[in-house]
Amino acid sequence: MTRVDLIPGTWSGRDDGPGPEHLRWHSAVSAFEPDIAPGATVLVGFRSDEGVRRNKGRPGAARGPTALRHALASMALADPIRLFDAGDVAVAVGHLESGQRRLGEVVAGLLDAGHFVTVLGGGHEVAYGSYLGLSGSTAIASGARLGVLNLDAHFDLRNDAVPNSGTPFLQMAEAEAAAGRSLNYAVLGIAQPSNTPALFARAASLGVRHLLDDECSAANLPAVESFVDEFLRTVDLVHLTIDLDVLPGSIAPGVSAPAAFGVPVEVVQRVCDLVARSGRLALLDVAELNPRLDPDNRTSRTAARLIHRVVTSRAPS
């Protein structure tokens, strides 16, 4: 990767003074440069509406990365952390596949350099680009077991003629099969009314484990924790992907398809904690933030809180 310059104003916010006791994201983030030492957290934006447009959803997610940066900027950091911004991969209309390949190349390079990668979407087509990076990394080539944990109201296993925001996990399954592996894919938060019997059948045929949204209440948290723990025992490296429509529509209205029910934010946060502290998390991506549908920035603030939680509590992998 080449050096990137931060867009003026992207990382700015409240400033209470110098020193670590006043540290916030905007004062901790620097522009990424290729020679930084391993072990940093590196942000990459994926400015894409193309997958949502192809899936007949409501466009606007291409503005998500900028909104997420603004929401993160003034968050206070309890301890110093090495944060870098590698800029955005921008996807032009009609060019989703090349954009996903470019994202994969960026992600693979960052992972091979020893960094933790956080991808800011973008529609959920971002997940396939992230996967291309992780599956193409040196660690996977050396035999590490890849697992994908999706927090989502949808399986996103659609068998459509043209790839879109509803197809990324079927694309992953097909790519894994071509590599002689099976996709280790688990989903938490599935909304039954939003997934056809054909999608449930496809998930079953691929060995996909899932929990329904109404199984993910705070009262049922021990079962959720057990589900996550069992998944973690089967993998070496985790790709955690969060589609913000997993949250209740009252919490996350700024998405293409707001949830009528959803998974409580405290449950989603607990799942993030378990994965972040496992020592197996290699990659996080956050998808479907649509600032055009988020007039009070409720969704972006919630998403930023989850990103902050993962980044600041992550155990070294």
Which residues fall in the annotated binding site for Mn(2+)?
124, 152, 154, 156, 243, 245
Under DSSP, the state recorded for 5 is P
Can you state the percent helix, strand and coil of the chain, rounding each to 5? 40, 20, 40
Binding-site residues sit at 124, 152, 154, 156, 243, 245
15 CB-contact burial (10 Å; exposed 0-12 / middle 13-18 / buried 19+): exposed
Distance CA(152)–CA(246), nearest Å, equals 4
Distance CA(271)–CA(252), nearest Å, equals 17
What does the angle CA 254 – CA 241 – CA 132 come to, to the nearest 5 degrees?
A: 120
What separation in angstroms does the CA of 153 have from each of 16, 178, 249? 39, 27, 11
Tell me the CB-side half-sphere exposure of residue 220, using CA atoms within 13 A: 16
Distance CA(107)–CA(126), nearest Å, equals 11
Under DSSP, the state recorded for 76 is B
Where would I find the beta strands (DSSP E) of the chain? 29-31, 41-47, 83-90, 116-121, 146-151, 185-190, 209-212, 237-243, 281-287
Where would I find the beta strands (DSSP E) of 215-312? 237-243, 281-287
User: Which amino acid makes up residue 108?
Assistant: A
